[in-house]
Amino acid sequence: MQITDRINQKMTEHSLSQADLIRGTGAGRATVSGWVNGTNNPSAKHLDNLAKTLKTTTSWLLTGEGSSATERNDSNFSNVVINESPLRRIPILDFVQAGSFYESGYDGIHPKGETYTTYIGCKPESVFSLEVSGLSMIPEFAPGDKLVVDAAKEPYPGCYVIAQNGSHEATFKKYRAIGYDEHGRETFELVPLNPDFPIMNSTQQEIRIIGVVVEHLRSFGK
C-alpha cells in the first residue's frame, strides 16, 4: 500500500473531500489532487496538517506502520486539543506606555515586563500585552487579567480595543460603530461592559484607536 492509498483510505473512513484537505493543509488544489491521485507525495511542510486532517499520524501515513488512528478523539470524552503553536516573546506595557503607542510606537525601553503569546500578526513589533485595571469591563474582564493587543490591526464592530482620548493614558473598551462623518470616516463609541461607567463617543471627543485586543488570559489561581 502506497501513501496515496492510505490517504484515500482515511478520506473514505472520515468522509473527507479534497476540499477538506485543502482547507486543513493550506495546500493548493493541484497539489492535493496529486496526493489523492498518486502523482506526487506530500512534502514535509504539509505532512503534519495532512495527518491531523485525516485523523491519523504522520508515521502511519509515511510507512503504514503503527496505529492508523490518533489518540482517542471522542467528542463525548474530550473538548480540548493540544495547542502546538510556537510561543513568541512580547513586552508588557503599562497604560501610559500604551497611550504613547499611537504617536511613536514602543521603543523597547523599560517594559513593565515580558510575556509570551502564540498570536502572530502582520507586524510582530506592533504586538504587546497589557494588564486590566479598574472595573469598567467587569464581569467579562477583571482587574489583573492579561490582554494581548495588536496595534497594526484595524478595529471592527464588536471587538475590544485599547484607545486614547487625549490623555497620556490608554483606556480599554468595546468598539461599537455608529456611522460615518462628512469625510467618510467611521464614527464609533467606546462602550464599557459595566453600565456604571460612561460611554465615549468619537463625534463628541477626539479618540484615537491604539490597537485591537486579540487575546485574553485570566488566572483562576487564588
Among positive and negative, which fits the CA dihedral 50, 56, 14, 11?
positive
Say which CATH number the domain at 94 has: 2.10.109.10
Which segments of the chain have a pLDDT < 70?
A: 67-84, 100-109, 221-222
In a domain, 165, yes or no: yes
Q: Which domain holds residue 27?
A: 3-63
Has this prediction a pTM greater than 0.85? no
In a domain, 29, yes or no: yes
| Residue 11 confidence (pLDDT) | 92
Kindly state the cell numbers that stand for 74: 471522542
Residues above pLDDT 90, as percent of the chain: 46
In a domain, 55, yes or no: yes
Q: What is the pLDDT of residues 144-157, one digit of tens each?
A: 999 999 998 999 99
Kindly state the cell numbers that stand for 60: 502511519
Q: At a CB cut-off of 8 Å and minimum separation 6, what does 123 contact?
A: 151, 152
In whole numbers, what is the pLDDT of the chain averaged over residues? Answer: 85
Give how far Cα 199 sits from Cα of 140, 177, 189, 192, 208, Å.
17, 13, 7, 6, 15
Question: Is the separation of the CB atoms in 5 and 63 below 8 Å?
Answer: no
Q: What is the pLDDT of residues 152-205, one digit of tens each?
A: 899 999 999 999 887 777 899 999 999 998 888 899 999 999 999 999 999 999
